[in-house]
C-alpha cells in the first residue's frame, strides 16, 4: 500500500439522479471532512437496449454504457462509494478489477452477494444483517450547516423579505408504497395553506419529479395566494436554501431521503400522509424510529415546536468506513 503522504482518492458512483447521487457524494464528502481526500463524481448511464436488464445479465457493463456515461477504468480509487442499481455491475467487479486495492462501499441493500463488498451501508429498516453491514437511521446525505448556509446566500434576496415563520414543504409523490391522488394533493395543500395562515408566515414549497402533474397543478392553484415561493423544477433549485431558512419542515412520508435531510437540520419535522398503495412495511419501521427519537410527528394541521439533536448518520458512517479502511489497508488515518 502507498505511504500515507497523499490524500485518499474516492469515487462517488451513481446514475446521477439527485436522490441517489447525493447519498454517495454525501458520504464521500463526509469522509473528506475527516481525512484528506480527493472526491470524483462518476455517473453511469446504460444504452437503452441494456438499461432495463437485471444486474445479473449486465455481464459486460463497460460495453453496455451509453456515450454520455463516465468510463470506469484504472487507475482505480482507494475508496469506491456507490449507490443505486446502475452501479452494481461495476461494484460487484471492483475488488477483482483493482486486485483488492480498492475498498468497495455499496449504499442501500444491493440484493446481491454481500461478500463482494468491503462495506454495505443500508437503512436499518431494510433489516440487512451481516458482519460487513452498517445499518443507519435513514440514508447518507450532503446536509451540513455550511452547505445550507452557502445555498441560502444565493437565495437570500428572495427569502429574507418573507415573513416568518418559514414553513418548508417537501412534496414527493408516487412510489411503490405511496401515491398522491388529486384529492390527497388538494387536502395537503389546503392543510398547508391554513397552517401557514394561522401562523402568519410564509411557505417554501418544493415539488419533486415524482409528483404527478395533476397533483402539482392543484397544489399550486390552492397555494397561489399564500406568501412564499413554490419551486416546481424550473430554474435553480432552492432546496438547501429552503431547509436553512425553515422554522418548520413538512415532508411527505414517501421519501426516506427527504425526511433524513430534514432531520439533519434539527428543526421540527412534520410528516404529511399520502395515499397508501401498500400497508405496513419498511416505511412504517422508519417512521416509528423517527418518532421514538423525537425527530418527527404526524402533521396535526398546526405548527408545533419541539427540539432534538440533529440527525448526523452520515458522519457516523464516514467514521466507521475509515476505521475499516485503515484496518484493511494498513494506512493510518490522517486528520483533515
Residue 335 lies in a domain: no
On whether both 177 and 198 belong to a single domain, the answer is yes
> Distance between CA atoms of 169 and 229, rounded to whole angstroms?
10
Supply the CATH number for residue 38's domain.
Answer: 3.40.50
On whether both 72 and 215 belong to a single domain, the answer is no
**Is the predicted pLDDT of residue 279 greater than 80, yes or no?**
no
Looking at residue 152, its pLDDT comes to 97
User: What's the number of domains the chain is made of?
Assistant: 2
Residue 244 lies in a domain: yes
> Distance between CA atoms of 297 and 300, rounded to whole angstroms?
8
How do residues 169-199 score in pLDDT, each as one tens digit? 999 998 888 999 999 999 999 999 999 999 9
On whether both 160 and 112 belong to a single domain, the answer is no
Q: Taking residues 113-125, report their average pLDDT.
A: 96
Looking at residue 278, its pLDDT comes to 74
Looking at residue 281, its pLDDT comes to 78
Range of the domain at 250: 145-298
On whether both 61 and 153 belong to a single domain, the answer is no
* 143 and 265 Cβ atoms separated by less than 8 Å: yes
On whether both 83 and 228 belong to a single domain, the answer is no
Looking at residue 4, its pLDDT comes to 52
**Is the predicted pLDDT of residue 2 greater than 50, yes or no?**
no
Looking at residue 233, its pLDDT comes to 85
Phi-psi region of 264 (alpha: psi -120 to 50; beta: other; left: phi over 0): alpha
Amino acid at each position: 500500500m502507498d505511504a500515507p503522504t497523499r490524500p485518499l482518492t474516492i469515487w462517488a458512483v451513481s446514475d446521477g439522479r439527485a436522490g441517489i447521487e447525493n447519498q454517495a457524494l454525501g458520504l464521500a464528502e463526509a469522509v473528506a471532512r475527516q481525512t484528506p481526500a480527493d472526491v470524483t463524481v462518476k455517473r453511469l448511464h446504460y444504452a437503452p437496449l441494456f438499461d432495463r436488464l437485471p444486474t445479473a445479465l449486465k455481464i459486460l457493463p463497460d460495453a453496455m454504457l451509453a456515450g454520455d456515461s463516465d468510463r470506469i477504468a484504472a487507475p482505480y480509487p482507494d475508496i469506491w462509494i456507490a449507490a443505486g442499481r446502475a452501479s452494481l455491475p461495476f461494484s460487484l467487479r471492483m475488488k477483482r478489477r483493482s486486485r483488492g486495492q480498492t475498498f468497495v462501499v455499496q449504499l442501500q441493500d444491493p440484493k446481491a452477494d454481500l461478500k463482494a463488498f468491503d462495506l454495505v451501508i443500508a437503512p436499518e429498516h431494510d433489516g440487512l444483517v451481516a458482519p460487513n453491514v452498517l445499518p443507519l437511521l435513514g440514508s447518507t446525505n450532503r446536509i451540513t450547516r455550511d452547505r445550507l448556509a452557502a445555498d441560502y446566500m444565493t437565495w437570500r434576496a428572495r427569502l429574507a423579505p418573507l415573513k416568518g415563520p418559514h414553513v418548508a414543504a417537501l412534496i414527493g409523490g408516487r412510489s411503490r408504497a405511496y401515491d398522491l391522488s388529486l384529492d390527497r394533493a388538494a387536502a395537503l395543500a389546503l392543510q398547508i395553506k391554513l397552517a401557514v395562515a394561522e401562523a402568519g408566515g410564509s411557505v417554501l414549497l418544493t415539488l419533486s419529479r415524482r409528483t404527478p402533474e395533476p397533483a402539482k397543478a392543484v397544489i399550486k392553484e390552492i397555494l397561489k395566494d399564500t406568501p412564499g415561493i413554490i419551486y416546481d423544477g424550473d430554474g435553480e433549485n432552492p432546496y438547501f436554501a429552503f431547509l436553512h431558512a425553515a422554522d418548520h419542515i413538512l415532508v411527505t412520508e414517501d421519501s426516506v431521503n427527504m425526511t433524513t435531510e430534514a432531520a439533519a437540520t434539527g428543526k421540527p419535522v412534520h410528516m404529511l400522509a399520502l395515499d397508501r398503495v401498500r400497508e405496513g412495511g419498511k416505511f412504517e419501521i422508519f417512521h416509528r424510529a423517527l418518532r421514538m427519537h423525537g425527530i418527527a410527528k404526524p402533521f396535526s394541521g398546526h405548527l408545533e415546536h419541539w427540539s432534538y439533536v440533529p440527525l448526523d448518520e452520515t458522519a457516523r458512517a464516514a467514521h466507521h468506513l475509515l476505521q475499516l479502511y485503515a484496518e484493511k489497508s494498513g494506512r493510518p488515518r490522517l486528520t483533515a
